[in-house]
Amino acid sequence: MTSTDSADTQQPARTTNDGDRLAPPVAAVRPRERTHHGDTFVDDYEWLRDKDDPAVRAHLEAENAYAEQETAHLADLRGAIFTEIKQRTKQTDLSVPARRGRWWYYTRTIEGEQYAVHCRCPVTATDAGDDPLGAWDPPRLDDLHEVLGEEVLLDGNAEASGHDFFSVGTFAVSPDGHLLAYGTDVVGDERFTLRVKDLRTGQVLSDEIPATFYGATWTLGATAVYYVTVDDAWRPYRVWRHRLGAAAETDELVHEETDERYWVGVGLTRSERYVLVSSASKVTSEVRYLDAADPQAAPVLVAERRRGVEYAVEHARVGGEDVFLVLHNDGAENFELAQAPVERPGPEHWTPVVAHRADTRLEDVDAFRDFVVLSYRREALTRVAVLPLTQQGLGAAHEVDFEETLFSVGTGANPEWEQPLVRLAYTSFVTPATVYDYVVGISELRLRKRQPVLGDYDPDDYEQHREWARADDGTMVPISLVCRAGSPRDGTAPCLLYGYGSYEISVDPAFGVPRLSLLDRGMSFAIAHVRGGGELGRAWYEQGKTLTKRNTFTDFVACARHLAQAGWTSPDRLVATGGSAGGLLMGAVANLAPDAFAGIVAVVPFVDALTTILDPSLPLTVIEWDEWGDPLHDPDVYAYLRSYAPYENVSATTYPPILAITSLNDTRVLFVEPAKWVARLRATAHAAALLKTEMSAGHGGVSGRYEAWKERAYEYAWVLDTAGARHEPAVRGRTAPGSEPTAR
């Protein structure tokens, strides 16, 4: 590869026209040649990569100023949406307490405060007489603070004081309930400082470990804690054991993953018998276990890695014997569940207990003392089933039924091994986040809480629908859609279409308070369940990765065109949105079918994918080769990526308006990608593109719930305006006076 710099042919501009109005910033052109496999690409804007360069900072600030100018007319709309979110949200609220040992654990939020407060109260204060289930009924939320002796474990607001950004990446209470390991990030780069608090005294101990990854796991006796660190490419690769009270420099390395395609994680089985250390690439996994009661235990291999075989283990007791339940895809594309003795856990001893099915993708298994919960996906919807544990093994599965056409369900907080019920989290487009406890012995769902939506919210004012779009190759692609009841089907309604389609991640129908501000202004919201996600099983994912990745983009365009043809919207009223890998999708469809959209929102977008995937020194690159292919060493992969990478394929065509949002400290998708993309869009196509950079945030955007609401209001105001939607919400049953759609 060769690289050459030339003198700037343009100056970074904060120039003005029309008096005091800012013109679009013009990034300096500093050509660099990038040559691979006989192909040379001239990159004019790679110099924007160095965030410590004052010229780069100046350019980003100029972009922010320009974006603010170009959206200034939306200030009132932004303010209205932000106010609506606040007014609909119960700002002083509590989560449903989850029992672990002698304590109920929960979080509370306080009106005016940005961050959650982590708390607990004793179980003994809530025991209910002789009812065997009484001790599992969460305390009344109103009693927690004033009656039951609430104990504050970690106040995010106090921890965040003095910082522009704050995030908790680790929150792990020791099995005996005495100690808390917690990790905090005050920059946004997802490097957490791990600390330990003695919950008996409230004292933060001297133990402090910088630059750790998410998560921590205690030994059973709470004399040591396991944690993970990352390498220079932000790959979690080492598992350490820290003895309480010892200097971090003396911590013991338990496992190091030397293959750059793999990352590691550590966790504790629900039974608290074993610590599990997992190594995984995008297509292969390997698990080791340690005795959780032994602070000097050495890891034991479950099954040696084999390319293309993924597996995960969970400890259970069957017929008095300790076994591992193994969820794997060895000869089972959509995974099957097997069991093996802990002493002989290898694949030659894997005995199937839940067989593979072509129409059902098994996703997770949770073992308890008396039953097992299986999470899976069928017909693009999540499901859960409970299987009793008997002396002979697993009994027949009982699927928990729900009545809505579209919904999302999964296991919630279930920390106790011997609990008689299962905490479930449920939601749909029209049903706010709901917490159920499923009582296994009597197959009964008990409603514990439904997220309050203040004001006059009525789910009957909204409708959810399932549509199917025909892709270019004839594949039928599911679409989930929500709108106001009675929305027109004549193409006049605006629509926001969301897409992701990578890593086998499924995007399921879920309720969102902020989204009501769109729906009440006549805009529908839809999810395109494109290939590359996992909504329809492992094959759905395989058909949208590496050398089939273009299916993700053509599927999304097919969904957009279907919504227009079916009368849900029209191209001049349809806005597309996606973030991260979904941002790559946005960049690709902007090149592929700019006529299909009125506007595009790309959040932390992976739009300079080829440059990134060619550079093994950048964060996550090598472990991503199984997802995107290896263009550095494979000319066919290079040519394929080169054919769709958004940045390289910007052309002199007419693009819809584009809003790109990024964060300076993002370590997953570097800010330079959207910065280069917007510069090239302007220079090549004179596109109406805006770049908004959060100068103290990471991949997840701003921290703090109020700041996050403001950011969502900013996006939604731009979306409504770009789609020509009305700026005032509908009054129940009619359109608000003077709120007819604005002209484009």
465 is catalytic: no
Whether 339 and 323 have beta carbons less than 8 Å apart is answered as yes
Angle 394-412-212 from CA coordinates, rounded to 5°: 110
666 is catalytic: yes
Q: How many CB atoms lie within 10 A of CB 84?
A: 20
Q: Which long-range contacts (CB under 8 A, 24 or more apart) does 45-53 make?
A: 45/675, 45/676, 45/679, 45/680, 46/611, 46/672, 46/676, 47/5, 48/672, 48/675, 48/676, 48/679, 49/670, 49/672, 51/664, 51/671, 51/672
**DSSP run (H or E) holding 139:** none
Length of the chain counted residue by residue: 744
Whether 316 and 323 have beta carbons less than 8 Å apart is answered as yes
Whether 523 and 495 have beta carbons less than 8 Å apart is answered as yes
Q: Which residues pair with residue 120 across a beta bridge?
A: 105, 151
CA distances from 418 to 204, 270, 372, 487, 605 (A): 31, 9, 12, 49, 44
**DSSP run (H or E) holding 337:** strand 336-341
Give SS3 for 685: helix
d(CA 483, CA 563): 13
Whether 691 and 662 have beta carbons less than 8 Å apart is answered as yes
Q: Closest by alpha carbon to 560, among 588, 528, 582, 585?
A: 528
d(CA 697, CA 743): 36
- CA 738 and chain centroid, separation: 39
Give the DSSP letter string of 439-479. Answer: EGGGTEEEEEEE--B-SS--GGGEEEEEEEEE-TTS-EEEE
Phi, psi of 545 (to 5 degrees): -140, 170
User: Counting Cβ atoms within 10 Å, is residue 91 exposed (0-12), middle (13-18) or buried (19+)?
Assistant: middle
Whether 411 and 422 have beta carbons less than 8 Å apart is answered as yes
Q: How many CB atoms lie within 10 A of CB 270?
A: 19
Whether 222 and 179 have beta carbons less than 8 Å apart is answered as yes
Q: Closest by alpha carbon to 408, among 539, 310, 527?
A: 527
Q: How many CB atoms lie within 10 A of CB 134?
A: 11
Which member of 242, 315, 328, 699 is catalytic? 699
> Residue 348 carries which side chain, given as an amino acid letter?
E
Give SS3 for 61: helix
**Pairing of β 179-185 and β 274-280:** unpaired
699 is catalytic: yes
Q: What is the 3-state secondary structure (H, E, C) of 541-570?
A: HHCCCHHHCHHHHHHHHHHHHHHHHCCCCC
CA distances from 602 to 268, 590, 692 (A): 37, 10, 11
Which member of 43, 437, 666, 721 is catalytic? 666
- CA 58 and chain centroid, separation: 31
d(CA 117, CA 113): 10
Backbone torsion region of residue 664, taken as left when φ is above 0, otherwise alpha when ψ lies between -120 and 50, otherwise beta: alpha
**Catalytic residue list:** 580, 666, 699
